[in-house]
Amino acid sequence: MPVRDPYRRPWPGREVTSGGVTLHVRETPGPDGVPAVYVHGLSGSATNWTDLAALLSTRAAGTAVDLPGFGLSRPPATRDYSPSGHADALLCFLAGRGRPVHLLGNSLGGAIALAVAARRPELVRTLTLVSPAMPDRRPDPRRVSDPRLVLAVLPWVGERARAELAAMDPRTRAEQVVALCFGDPSCVPEHRLAETIAEIEARGRQEWARDAANRTAVAMLAGWFRRDLWLLAARVQAPTLVVWGDRDRLVAPRLAARTSRALRARLLMLPGVGHVAQMESPDVVARAVAGMWDAVAAGTWHGADPGS
């Protein structure tokens, strides 16, 4: 596996229309065969996968998508920002390409990827979920240093918190994002922080960005009070790897074992790592993903014992 380039710039991007859905994507060149598709989390973008896609590029060509209304993708005409709406868009996009993929998702993107795998199993060769946003009726706001980050996802009462966060200068917001998402914020190099600042500035110029983030956050939280995603997990047929950091401040690590059991998946717990393991420990995650791909191709992959 290639050595990670700590100064790699984001992969080139373009708009692609597939299955009636137009998304901005960043494409990683790679060999023919089963391609990889990467799906970011809430308020993230395709650039969240720069390093992992590079490390896996010797094995699979990659497409990191910007979900509708995020990154550089335009908002959906329906303004449906619910998890099921995002899953519909991704499902149509993948179906239009007409071939199965290795599907990888982080946080909200993990929940969306799970839903796609459950609804259209023929589209997903393998599934990798990094801290997927599984429903949690017992969130712990003490894990978050700034309570506004919790309030911001709440309907109605969160409007003031969202406005205060939006009013922060881009560097302060970027530093807060890093502190929230990484187990060890000091591991983030300055050039990656600069990229985050630039993306926050760019999002501030998009007339739809705040609406997309607010509506998606509220719809995701509302979904946490239903069992839909847990029920969908039981329908997933694809070989699945679940990755979780034990310092995740956004989706509780205590959900990791339950999630892997529900999916009959293997679980990789990473000590000292936060919510975005594919960014914080891309080398470790890449080895685990490549190992799954190899085992599936060889017919030797076995998921976790559902009773474990």
Task: Indicate whether 146 pLDDT > 50.
Answer: no
The helix or strand, by DSSP H or E, that contains position 130, with its residue range, turns out to be strand 124-130
- Amino acid 162: pLDDT: 62
- Amino acid 145: pLDDT: 47
Residues 13-138+214-298: name the CATH superfamily.
Alpha/Beta hydrolase fold, catalytic domain (3.40.50.1820)
Task: Indicate whether 255 pLDDT > 90.
Answer: yes
The pTM score is 0.91
Q: Mutual orientation of helices 108-119 and 83-97 as an angle, nearest 10°?
A: 60
Instruction: Give the confidence band of 155 by pLDDT, cuts at 50, 70, 90.
Output: very low
The backbone region for 85, taken as left when phi is positive above 0, alpha when psi lies in -120 to 50, beta otherwise, is alpha
- Amino acid 128: pLDDT: 98
What's the burial of 127, exposed, middle or buried (CB within 10 Å: 0-12/13-18/19+)?
buried
Secondary structure in 3-state letters for 233-275 = HCCCCCCEEEEEECCCCCCCCCHHHHHHHHHCCEEEEECCCCC
The amino acid occupying position 285 is V
- Amino acid 48: pLDDT: 96
The amino acid occupying position 38 is Y
Task: Indicate whether 270 pLDDT > 70.
Answer: yes
- Amino acid 223: pLDDT: 77
What's the burial of 305, exposed, middle or buried (CB within 10 Å: 0-12/13-18/19+)?
exposed
Token pair, residue 69, equals 């209304």
DSSP letter (8 states) at residue 226 = S
What is the share, in percent, of the chain residues with pLDDT greater than 70?
86
Q: Which residue has the higher pLDDT, 36 or 43?
A: 36
- Amino acid 6: pLDDT: 63
- Amino acid 61: pLDDT: 97
What are the residue boundaries of the structural domains of the chain, listed by start? 13-138+214-298
Instruction: Give the confidence band of 221 by pLDDT, cuts at 50, 70, 90.
Output: confident
DSSP per-residue string spanning 166-232: HHS-HHHHHHHHHHHH-SSGGGS-HHHHHHHHHHHHHHHT-TTHHHHHHHHHHHHHHHTTSSHHHHH
- Closest by Cα among 279, 223, 249, 189 to 87: 223
The whole-chain average pLDDT of the chain stands at 89
Q: Mutual orientation of helices 190-204 and 170-181 as an angle, nearest 10°?
A: 120
Cα–Cα dist 101/302, whole Å:
19
Half-sphere exposure of 162 (CA within 13 A, CB side): 18
* 162-191 confidence digits (pLDDT tens): 666 667 888 998 998 899 899 999 999 898
Cα–Cα dist 123/110, whole Å:
16
Task: Indicate whether 80 pLDDT > 70.
Answer: yes
Token pair, residue 64, equals 């990191």
